[in-house]
Chain A
Amino acid sequence: MGRILTVDDELDMLALLKMIIEGYSEHQVTATNNPIEAVELLDKEPFDLVITDLKMPGMDGMELLAAARKKDEDALVMVITAYGSLESAEEAMAQGAYDFITKPFRKEQILLAIDKAMRWREMVRQNKELKKRLGDEKS
């Protein structure tokens, strides 16, 4: 079970994401429509994955991505892009987003993408731990 932060200014999408993720997986979702608050939430509690829309008023997804990566270099961020804006998805990936998904998407798509991200997160964690153990053994 992981903790996911979803950020989208479209209330319907936000509601759906929460319903779908909590309904079809074991993950817990914190949802906010306000990217500024999202940054604050990242300070308060750890999240395994951030799913954010790219186009939002006040602060866009790229800014949020940068803020999340600044707080934690391993932060996993998945961006949601509008249909036909592949450039912005590429740009987000170049800036360190883990994955992107294009609207509208099927629920299986987002669930599989989350699954993949969570497994990646676990691998990174184990890898770090092993490296640390190796380092400890050497010294």
Chain B
Amino acid sequence: MVAAIHKLKKWLTGKRRAPEKPVSLAPPPALLERYRRYKRLLAANSAILTMVTDLQVKMNEGFLFDMHYVRNACQRLGQEVEAMVAALAAMSGGRYQALEEARRLVEAKITRELAGAVLQPGPLVLPLAEVKEGQFFGAKAEKLGDLVRLGLPVPKGFAVSAYAQKLFFEQSGLEDFSREQIRRSHIRDLESLKIAGADIKERVMAEELPPELSQALDQELAALGPRVAVRSSALQEDSLFSFAGQFETLLNVPREKVKEAYKEVLASQFTPRVLYYCHTSGFAYQELAMGVAVMEMVDAATAGVLYTADPRQGGEATIINAVCGLGSLAVGGVVEPDIYRVENEEIVAREVGEKSHMHALAPEGGVLDLETPPDRRGACLDEQQVLALHNLGLTLEKHFGLPQDIEWALTTGGKLYLLQARPLRISRQLKTEYLPPKIKGAEVLLENGTIASRGAGAGPVHLLADDRLQEVPQGAVLVTRRALPEYGVVVGRVAAMICEAGSPTSHLATVLREAGVPAIFGAKGAFSLLKPGAMVTVDAYYGNVYAGRRGELLKPPPGDMVLHQSRAWKVLERVLKHITPLHLLDPRGENFRAENCTTYHDMTRFAHEKAMTELFHISAPDPEEDGTRRLSSHLPLEIHIIDLGGGLAPEAKNLAVVKPEHLRSRPMVAYWRGVEAVGWRGPKPVDLAGFMSVVMNAATDVNIRERLHEKNFAIIAADYLNLSNRLGFHFATIEAFLGVPEESYVSLTFYGGGAELERRRRRVRFLAKVLKHLDFRVELKEDSISGRIDGYDAPTLEEKLELLGRLMMVSKQLDMSMLSEESVEQHYRDFFAEIQETKK
């Protein structure tokens, strides 16, 4: 018995001899490879989050960008996600196949969004009431369809789809002809483009329409009156309009000439500018195919346009321009129209224009330009008519949720018609958006953060304690120490968010921008400076937090309607739906699975999380002795070191035995500081029962000999530590990565021990108490514990590592002295008291 105890004591405390056979000092290639994959994955992770941030900023902060930018950004992003998923697959020996499948699905969706809707075969002609978005009739016709279905007064009519043009061009050989003309023209010769355009037009007019289209037109026309208006309705009107100009609209067309008018409208798109475009990007129906709307001609006594808001100031006013006769003179400045301004159901301004000319229907078809008879030169709308128009405008604005730009006509009989409606482009002067960087006279509570999500919000301060997210009240300004992705679950509830740590490229920042929650990150001191319950205003335009509610900041920023109408913006908005949302908020959650990843953000988070797990397993099978060196210190600890790069000083390159001063691995150096601060104290004085429990357990454990001979391995790199620690009878693994805050973490698992279960349990309860105090997230199970801390910057984590080093040395064989529950408390107090002591 004495001999056994003596032997045991020697195992527990004594130095063991270093292996004598020569070893290679290069790290095992498999380990190194895994670590390199991890680093590649981290690089991809950081690149992805940076790119996603950039895309969100470009979309929401008033940038002008084109499709070229959107395509490039998506391509680069896609490559990094692919690299990240591949790196995880390689680290895990090909697991996570589901993640690669999820990635391909998302990639395909993004590709489809970027390509835009591909012109599909569909009905050639439909009555306006049946024309809906997505059927390729062009925006103008689709909007008219909406108006008809709303029961609003729209002249009877139908629309011809863009697909009908495609069919016409294919069947008649016009497609090949046009392509050939474009090919033969010269890009540097404007004249040749003009000639090509004229040739194509001539050929369009000469060709017969496909019989099925011709019949469909006849059928629809039979239901209409004798005269119609034929209007273009291009698929990409917004992009083309700026340079190609408005395409043809033909008024007062006799029914029998509609087919000709249809061809004329199609032909009107082949301008030199469009042909130059075709030259550079190919002849694409996608861009050019045109729908056409055919509506009964309204014999207007008065007509014009109506804006449901002031286009220059955006104020709440209805502005109506009116001319005598047809509306074709209401805009364009040829005649001076009447202008009416309605505010709060009252006409507040009325300017009667000169209206020297007017357009009227010509008996033979087309439009006559007449001198306005003297008796019609006065105001062309009475008060009742103005207010009726105003109300119609309000109905439309309410339905579409945006200010509208409406074309209208009034017959001699007093019947009102809507001819067209589209979103009104409201411009605002730059200076109205100006906010001062600091509000004069306001009390600034914080001004040291960076903007993670632009905007402003106000509410009572809520300091997040112990991650109890369920306690966050509605409308609060949430203040947290870290920017953990899990906090994303409260975005629907908070007015704004302030984090002491974190950066704009973190998962949480992306989620907050996605939800439009203003946020300031990296606001050091927020936890102590902001008082719970106090009303504050977060100014995430300039990065300030003010006391009280600052109304001037809280006005909703004027929406940038102009920018949001661009095709590139709309496409980016759609694409981002497959990129930015984060559904996998909590790694402990049920849904944290590869097959649940539906966005690039989900995948990035999932892959990063799993990569950490995979890297942790780096030490699972004990590395061979090759590639290891022994760390020799004054402590009776045998640690074998594997350096994956940058973990040791260059002068230690060829040393089989290294000293603590050779350590360069940031996390290892920090950890070792803690180890040395405590030093080797031997087992705590134990009572007989405790000691006996170790002996008895050891005696019944067949692996005791093996376990005591297990070595401690430290796999290190400049920024990494994975330490498998077998101190006495327990097993601990400490892992740390110190990079940017989003990548950095310290984790620990600890289990076992020599003493009886209850004492071991007490030890892990002691550990849990200390770790929680240090802000670790802790999970306990029997005599095992796992803890993890992240979301902090490297210097903070270095401090934690040092304390962890202390803790590991202090708790060595502590289980034996865990006599009662009181000892848990006692050791906890001792631990921090000792640290206080050292600080003094």
Contact = CB atoms under 8 A, between A and B. Distances in A.
Given A11-B242, A31-B242, A23 B427 contact: yes
B273 A12 contact: no
A107 B64 contact: yes
Contact of A108 (B62, B236, B276): B62
A32 B63 CA distance: 21
A24 B563 CA distance: 11
Contacts of B187: 36, 57-58
Nearest to B63: A104
B425 A106 contact: no
Contacts of A12: 66-67, 239, 566-568
A35 B523 CA distance: 50
A11 B240 contact: yes
B599 to A, nearest CB: 23
Contacts of A57: 187, 279-280
Nearest to A13: B66
Contacts of B427: 22-24
A99 interface: no
Given A23-B427, A107-B563, A15 B242 contact: yes
B351 interface: no
B62 A107 contact: yes
B241 A23 contact: no
A58 B193 CA distance: 13
Contacts of B240: 11, 15
B552 interface: no
Contacts of B568: 12-13, 16
Nearest to B565: A19
Contact of A59 (B62, B64, B188, B273): B188
B238 A15 contact: yes
Interface string A1-22: 0000000011111111111101
B272 A37 contact: yes
B662 interface: no
Contacts of B567: 12, 15
Given A12-B568, A31-B243, A36 B190 contact: yes
A106 B426 CA distance: 18
B568 to A, nearest CB: 5
B277 A104 contact: no
Interface string B217-232: 0000000000000000
B400 interface: no
Interface string B543-574: 00000000000000000101101111000000
Given A11-B240, A15-B241, A104-B69, A24 B429 contact: yes
B20 interface: no
Contacts of B239: 11-12, 14-15
A54 interface: no
B68 interface: yes
A110 interface: yes
B189 A36 contact: yes
Interface string B739-752: 00000000000000
A36 B273 CA distance: 10
B118 interface: no
A99 to B, nearest CB: 16
B706 interface: no
B620 interface: no
A106 B242 contact: no
A23 B562 contact: yes
B243 A11 contact: yes
Interface string B44-68: 0000000000000010011111111
A37 B197 CA distance: 15
Interface in A85-129: 103-108, 110-111
The bracket for how many chain A residues form the interface is: 20 to 34
Interface residues of B, number: 42
A34 B138 CA distance: 25
Contacts of A33: 243, 273, 276-277
B240 to A, nearest CB: 7
Nearest to B560: A107
B125 to A, nearest CB: 28
B428 interface: yes
B430 interface: yes
A37 B58 CA distance: 31
Residue of A10, A11, A58 contacting most chain B CB atoms (<10 Å): A11
A108 B189 CA distance: 36
A73 interface: no
A127 B429 CA distance: 29
Nearest to A107: B62
Interface string B275-311: 0110110000001000000000000000000000000
A13 B64 contact: yes
Contacts of A105: 63-64
Contacts of A110: 64
B64 A34 contact: no
A71 B71 CA distance: 37
Nearest to B65: A104
Contacts of B190: 34, 36-37, 40
A118 B588 CA distance: 59
A20 B560 CA distance: 10
Nearest to A20: B562
A20 B236 CA distance: 18
Nearest to B68: A10
A18 B242 CA distance: 7
B430 A108 contact: yes
Contacts of A111: 430
Contacts of A22: 427
A16 B243 contact: no
A13 B567 CA distance: 9
B575 to A, nearest CB: 14
A68 B191 CA distance: 20
A13 B428 CA distance: 20
B72 to A, nearest CB: 9
Nearest to B434: A108
Nearest to B187: A58
B63 A106 contact: yes
A17 B566 CA distance: 10
Contacts of B428: 24
A32 to B, nearest CB: 6
Contacts of A32: 243, 273
Interface in B697-719: none
Contacts of B69: 103-104
Smallest CB-CB A-B distances: 7 pairs: A23-B427, A104-B65, A15-B242, A34-B276, A58-B187, A13-B66, A12-B66
Interface of A: 9-20, 22-24, 31-34, 36-37, 40, 57-59, 103-108, 110-111
21 contacts: A11-B239, A12-B567, A13-B64, A13-B66, A13-B568, A14-B242, A15-B241, A16-B566, A22-B427, A24-B562, A31-B242, A34-B190, A34-B273, A36-B187, A37-B272, A58-B280, A104-B64, A105-B64, A107-B64, A107-B562, A108-B62
Given A15-B240, A20-B563, A108-B62, 18 more contacts: A13-B65, A13-B568, A15-B241, A15-B567, A16-B66, A16-B563, A17-B64, A19-B425, A19-B562, A20-B64, A20-B562, A32-B243, A33-B277, A34-B193, A34-B273, A104-B58, A104-B63, A111-B430
